[in-house]
Chain A
């Protein structure tokens, strides 16, 4: 190993968002202004399973706008799943864009490992 980095995922890629929705069998995201409980948010609206309001991805900043009232209007697990799916699809897309092969493998603790072979 030569270096190790930890990254806080920011949702900024439209193609990866669409791929994540498809991976989780969610409806395709739609760019719109969505009503949350006390506010509005404009961006790519993702309808998570069982959520009362959509999660709005503001790709300019990587920020997510949502209102799930501490879990009462939507299970946090669904958002976590979406974030994981987004990161996985983003890694695979990026590998493809750079001409590398990527192999995905689920791990016992619920994490997903992606191994990218870098062409020499």
Chain B
């Protein structure tokens, strides 16, 4: 089972960077929404490949890799 982690790095001058790991699809945004609001104002956001995957697509990719082996 993939662990779902939110990593927050706070710089020496107080800016925060929030990264999510182990989430797929828009659930990562739901998981961090309250934290982002509580901390301050959004400066910028980057969505990665995993954001655009659904849990079904991730499972299919894993199964195909097993078959190739």
Task: List residues of A whose CB falls within 8 A of some B CB.
Answer: 1-10, 12-13, 62, 80-84, 86-88, 90-91, 93-95, 98, 100, 107, 109-118, 120
Contacts and interface: CB of A to CB of B under 8 A. Distances in A.
Interface residues on B, range: 35 or more
Nearest to B31: A118
Contacts of B12: 80-81, 84, 109-111
A9 B34 contact: no
Task: Tell me whether chain A's interface is mostly helix, strand or loop, or mixed.
Answer: mixed
B53 to A, nearest CB: 8
Contacts, number: 145
A2 B38 contact: no
Interface in B27-66: 28-29, 31-32, 34-36, 38-48, 50-51
Interface of B: 1, 3-25, 28-29, 31-32, 34-36, 38-48, 50-51
A112 B31 CA distance: 21
Contact of B50 (A1, A5, A80, A98): A1
A119 to B, nearest CB: 9
